[in-house]
Amino acid sequence: MRPYMRLSRIYDAGWPGLSGRYIPLLGRVLKESGSSCATVLDVACGTGTLAVALAREGHVVHGVDLSPEMVAIARRKAAELPDVSFEIGDMRCLSCEATFDLITCTFDSINYLVTVDALRALFAGVARCLAQAGTFVFDSNTDVHYASRSPFVKQREWDNETVEHQLEYDSAAREARVTFRFARGVVEVHRQRPYDLATLQPLLSEAGLSVTEAYSDPEGHEYDAASERVLCVVRWARDCMASN
C-alpha cells in the first residue's frame, strides 16, 4: 500500500499540534516582509491543517500534496473557507501561474525525497514559484534523528485504532524505512533520507536561494550538528536579487 493511503485516516490523531507550532514563526516572517494578506503555497500540505490555519489568519493559501487521500481530507476541512484550495501534485514538479509571498514545506516532508536530484528538483520549483521578496520555510530530519531512534518498534493507539509503528535506519545507505502495520494485515512502508544544513545550503544556492535563519525547531532554538531537525528560513540570495 502506498504511503498515506491508509495512514491518512488517522494522521491528525497521530501528530496533533505540530502545525500550530509553526504559526508564530510564519506570522513573524510575514510581518517582517510586510505581508498582512499573503499568498502562500503549502507544499506537501498533508491533511491541510497548516493551510487552513494560515487561511484563517487572513492569507490566501494553496496546498499541494502527492496523496489523493490526504488532499481529500484537506478539502473537507476547508470546505467553508473561500481563500484556501488544494490539488494533487508532486513537489518535485512544482509549476505556478503566479508567484507566492510564502512557500512552506513542513514536518519532514523533504525527507521523502530520497535522492539529491529529487531535492534539487524541489528547490528549482520553489525558485520558480517564489516572489522576489518571498520566503521559503521548511524543515528536515537529520541523520541524528533517525540514528538515535533506530531500531524502534511501538504499538500506538491513534483515534481508537491500534497501529504498529516501526523505524529502521541504514546509516551507510542513509535511508530510513518507516513501517506502519494496521488491522487485517494492511501495511504501509515510508522511505526517507536525512538532510542536514551542510547538505541543504549548496543545493539551495544552486537554485539562487540562501538560508537566512536556521533553527532546530519552530520555537527558534539554536541549530547545531547534534540537532535532530533543521528548520530553514530561506530567501533569494542577494546576488540573484540584484540581477533580477
Count of all residues that appear for the chain in the document: 244
Residue ranges for the chain with pLDDT beneath 70: 239-244
Domain boundaries, the chain: 7-142+195-243, 145-192
Does residue 82 have a cis peptide bond before it, meaning omega lies within 30 degrees of 0?
A: no
**What single letter denotes the amino acid at residue 17?**
G
pTM of the predicted structure, to 2 decimals = 0.95
- Through-space distance between the first and last CA atoms of the chain, rounded to whole angstroms: 45
Predicted confidence at residue 36, as pLDDT, reads 79
Q: Which of 93, 39, 84 is nearest to 63 (CA)?
A: 84
User: Residue 103 belongs to what H/E stretch?
Assistant: strand 100-105
Please name which of 104, 92, 127 lies closest in space to residue 232, comparing C-alpha atoms: 104
**Looking at domain 7-142+195-243, which CATH architecture does it have?**
3-Layer(aba) Sandwich (3.40)
pLDDT of residue 244: 46
* pLDDT at residue 239, as a whole number: 56
Count of other CB atoms within 10 angstroms of residue 54: 26
Q: Count Cα atoms within 13 angstroms, Cβ side, for 218.
A: 19
The confidence score (pLDDT) of residue 240 equals 52
